[in-house]
Structure 1
């Protein structure tokens, strides 16, 4: 499968890329700093910004599916919603239907699955980022695409374990999960319609 990957230079994105390449998938990757990615067979890196529609379209052209793991950090303006808006527009124009996007537990109807102390943090220090993720999910739901939204708990840099909870049951609470396990689940969704038009949690 040829996959357009947005957010490849982040921790989860790097895991998606390395695991996908190991499985034999090919990737088009959009990156503002292409030099931070190691060259590989079946990897095409497009230099550009996810807020640039032309760059997004170049990344999408010739691909079968899209993985979006956009993230924001620090004081920078969140890109999740505006970037996803451009990705959706490009997919609709090019006739690419399958989208798997990673947001976070605590977004939308998963708010109560997050511990109370983290809900306070979300309001105090992550308010803009969480608002961007809320809008991102809304855009995806209204896109008309074949989408799956993946909502992990607290991310770590630990190894892949293959042992994690996933599903839409609201009894799943936000605990720590490695980016490697998130990447494993995300890649599975490209070939599995079990969570089509749903937002499973990961923990």
Structure 2
């Protein structure tokens, strides 16, 4: 049994070695599931992350292909693309320290476009037809909030955190703890946090951020 990280690194190695060039068709999701011993959801999360970074494209009814812009996308990852081997407990501890700490920067630096991106992530998460899709847009929302700080180092840290969320252990905990009621709670908490940021209410945004992350930790880890 391999991890989602192993799948991600295997795909990246094929891209970096040019074994798979622009336009190359990747194995199907079913084939990747069988080869790496992963669930369909885990494979889809890895592919969604790579697609979001411009490395691959997906066409409904046709398949997954190496992007025509793969060289540029790989160059953007060259500063250090491999996620750290981090447990869900370690990730939650880091999030509880880092995410509230950047609120003041977000309140001070966020633009109208940043708020529109946050709203889009909320919309897409609420419209998600599966837990995996919801989790993807949940991660994108937190990454968008970090991006609104307009600090390259912070953005890089949060991209790395999202890579950790793509690992199989995090996905397994999410599936075990997921209920329709909890998803609705998360959606409401996301909306309240974005509203506080748009109001430039830093104190309330910090409070809401801490409450949301504590709620997530309790549901995932039981404390």
Pairwise TM-score range, normalised by the shorter structure: 0.3 to 0.5
Name the larger-Rg structure: 2
Which TM-score applies when normalising by structure 2?
0.30
**Structure that is richer in strand per residue:** 1
